[in-house]
Amino acid sequence: MGAAGCSLLPGGDDGGDKGAPSPSAASDKHAGSGRSGGDGKSEAGKGDGNKGGKGDGGGGKSAKPALRGRTIMVDPGHNPHNRDQPGEISRLVDIGTAKKECDTTGTATNSGYAEADFTLDLARRVRTALQERGAKVEFTHDGEDPYGPCVDERANAGNRAQADAAISLHADGAPSGSRGFHVILPASVHKGEADTRRIAGPSRRLGTAVRDTFREVTGEQPANYLGDGNGLDTRGDLGGLNLSKVPKVFLECGNMRDPHDAALLTSAKWRKKAAQGVADGITSFLAGKRTHKSGQ
């Protein structure tokens, strides 16, 4: 997505949403049909996970799956077919604080591995990990739509599903030498259709949990090219966050334009770790949410 915001491919790499404040390239991409998650064609998606959450992410068969009864919206950034629909993805949509492109193409590694392909593969892996813990997982799109969905619809998908948590998966397109991952949090905004005042706090807790577990599981360090290096970036210009009514964050998993990060992003073994890091963060956030409620 290049959420940091440098557009590197036609249509912009900021997913219609991301490309402004920082030096990278991506998009605020998908908010689509609320599908129950991709077609599982990738290596990661083969397990249907919906087998009742048999794997509970920690306990034995007698333990209650950690995420039973929870709904998670996973948004694979961009769409592999966006490049074929420049007119559709360039039309403007209202994100509350401004108007932005429907979507963008996303970025790619120097060898041509597209961000949209990366995000779909990772999303399917994340879906499997979450379903094994008992969660209901929905996707904004599964890569079969002709384009998009637009950034506003990506947000609305999570709202319609009344998701307990939502995450949009991306990879950045910053200059070579810029390394690491970061989580984008919604700023507290209230303008037009955008009102994140109720979700800004919970989204920060979600983002912090994902930041911590993603770093622990993958060994990757927070981005060295934005903010204070803590791996968290707050933005109020992304439609996928501005229009969300449920806790939501964007994850920029690394910089596709840097050889070191690209070697990780193109590794199936690393993507398996990345998926676990994402699932662990979401699980940690929701476990804390349940504990907080029960303590009131």
Q: Quick one: pLDDT band at residue 227, thresholds 50, 70, 90?
A: confident
Instruction: Please answer whether residues 185 and 249 qualify as being in contact, where contact means their C-beta atoms are separated by less than 8 angstroms.
Output: yes
Q: Quick one: pLDDT band at residue 33, thresholds 50, 70, 90?
A: very low
For the record, the structure tokens of 288 come out as 């804390």
Instruction: Please answer whether residues 138 and 74 qualify as being in contact, where contact means their C-beta atoms are separated by less than 8 angstroms.
Output: yes
Name the more confident of 32 and 190: 190
Instruction: Please answer whether residues 12 and 27 qualify as being in contact, where contact means their C-beta atoms are separated by less than 8 angstroms.
Output: yes
Please name each of the domains of the chain with its CATH number: 44-294 (3.40.630.40)
Angstrom distance (rounded) from CA 243 to CA 191: 10
Strands 194-195 and 190-191 turn out to be: antiparallel
pLDDT (average), residues 241-270: 98
Mean pLDDT value across the chain: 84
Inter-CA distances, 141 with 40, 74, 283, Å: 12, 9, 22
% of the chain residues with pLDDT over 90:
74
Active-site residues, by number, are: 252
For the record, the structure tokens of 275 come out as 């998926």
Quote the pLDDT of residue 129. Answer: 98
Quote the pLDDT of residue 288. Answer: 84
pLDDT in tens, 67-120: 999 999 999 999 999 999 999 999 999 999 999 999 999 999 999 999 999 999
Burial class (CB in 10 A: 0-12, 13-18, 19+), 256: buried
Angstrom distance (rounded) from CA 156 to CA 45: 24
For the record, the structure tokens of 206 come out as 């979600």
Query: 41: which residues sit within 8 A by CB, 6+ positions away?
Result: 124
